[in-house]
């Protein structure tokens, strides 16, 4: 007999629901700090799903198929590192050796721009205030630089570790057990909606995988094209600029413009190539992508309105920085594609 008047199982229920609350809180917290690598892991699983399925059709077990696919991926990445790391190291060393010269060129170009601007538009820009502000900011950042080095290094190491470990783990477990989750989910569907649900999931998986594969292939081809063209015109650091241009190309509007501006600035600072030729290279690569590469690689993906793309880029940048800007457009495309597929099928089955 409990004098407090509480039910006999009150404390058991309290402990149980407290544990449930702690688990949910942990999951929400983990998703909050790991949302980007987890999302990339799921996208990678969508990308590799058809390849794993193709290997299974040759009577190879699913675990062996997944291991084979990731073994090939890591082997290719390792080969690329071995092949291109000497060139990348050479570019880094060259930049370090010439950075003082580049600083002098930047200061000289700034002075020329200032004189031209003052001659054409006097008193338009408060140059002295701007220079004082930049100098003050530089001194403040230099004073606190050494104190922040450890924090920056630790944060960078943590971020890199989370990406290196979590992305493959999420992709592997999604490939391994995703079909079991699908079966479990479909088990709750009434029999009259079973065929409809199965068709919706199949179409979503197919179109989502095609969308992601197309985007990645488009970025790879653009990286190769831009790097090769910049090498031909003699621009230094063509590997880094080309790879950046290919990755940035996944961000509509903003990515190609940013890559082009960086390329032109490098040509001005180094003096190794004519800026307008570099600008023509990026313009030509972008036109080639718009007219040939993108229609072939992502041509069947859902077309998004320009306003949706711009708002999505802003939202992605706010939530996850550069990485968020890269993955937000594929996610929005997948959501729009999913909605369109569901509407078409539900309309065809006279459900809506």
Within a domain: 263: yes
**Structural domain boundaries enclosing 313:** 195-352
pLDDT of residue 157: 53
Place of tokens 């054409």: 120
Q: What is the mean pLDDT of each run of 10 residues along the chain (352 residues)?
A: 59 78 75 74 82 86 90 89 84 83 80 74 67 60 47 52 79 83 77 75 73 82 92 89 88 83 88 86 89 74 66 77 72 75 74 70
Instruction: Count up the domains in the chain and report the number.
Output: 1
Within a domain: 4: no
Within a domain: 59: no
DSSP string over 53-76: HHHHTTT--HHHHHHHHHHHHHHH
Q: SS3 sequence, 123-168?
A: CCCCHHHHHHHHHHHHHHHHHCHHHHHHHHHHHHHHHHHHHHHHHH
Within a domain: 303: yes
Cα–Cα distance, 293 to 295 (Å, whole number): 6
Give, as one character, the DSSP assignment of residue 289: I
Within a domain: 107: no
pLDDT of residue 143: 47
Within a domain: 215: yes
Within a domain: 249: yes
Within a domain: 118: no
pLDDT of residue 35: 73
């Amino acid at each position: 007999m409990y004098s407090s008047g509480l039910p006999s199982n009150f404390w058991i229920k309290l402990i149980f629901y407290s544990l449930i609350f702690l688990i949910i809180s942990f999951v929400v917290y983990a998703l909050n700090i790991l949302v980007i690598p987890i999302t990339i892991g799921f996208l990678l699983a969508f990308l590799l799903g058809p390849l794993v399925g193709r290997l299974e059709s040759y009577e190879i077990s699913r675990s062996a198929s997944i291991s084979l696919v990731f073994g090939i991926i890591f082997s290719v990445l390792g080969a690329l590192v071995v092949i291109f790391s000497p060139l990348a190291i050479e570019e880094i060393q060259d930049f370090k050796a010439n950075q003082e010269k580049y600083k002098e060129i930047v200061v000289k170009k700034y002075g020329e721009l200032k004189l031209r601007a003052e001659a054409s538009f006097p008193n338009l820009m408060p140059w002295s205030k701007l220079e004082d502000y930049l100098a003050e900011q530089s001194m403040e950042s230099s004073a606190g630089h050494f104190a922040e080095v450890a924090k920056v290094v630790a944060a960078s190491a943590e971020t890199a570790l989370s990406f290196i470990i979590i992305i493959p783990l999420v992709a592997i477990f999604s490939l391994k057990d995703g079909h079991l989750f699908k079966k479990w989910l479909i088990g709750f569907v009434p029999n009259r909606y079973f065929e409809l649900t199965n068709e919706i999931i199949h179409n979503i998986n197919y179109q989502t995988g095609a969308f992601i594969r197309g985007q990645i292939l488009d970025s790879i081809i653009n990286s190769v094209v831009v790097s090769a063209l910049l090498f031909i015109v003699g621009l230094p650091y063509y590997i880094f600029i080309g790879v950046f241009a290919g990755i940035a190309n996944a961000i509509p509007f903003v990515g190609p413009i940013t890559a082009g501006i960086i390329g032109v600035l490098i040509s001005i600072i180094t003096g190794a190539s004519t800026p307008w030729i570099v600008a023509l290279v990026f313009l030509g690569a972008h036109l080639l992508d718009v007219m040939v590469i993108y229609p072939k690689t992502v041509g069947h993906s859902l077309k998004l309105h320009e306003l949706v793309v711009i708002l999505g880029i802003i939202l992605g940048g706010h939530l996850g920085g550069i990485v968020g800007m890269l993955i937000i457009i594929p996610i929005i495309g997948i959501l729009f594609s999913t909605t369109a597929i569901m509407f078409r099928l539900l309309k065809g089955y006279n459900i809506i």
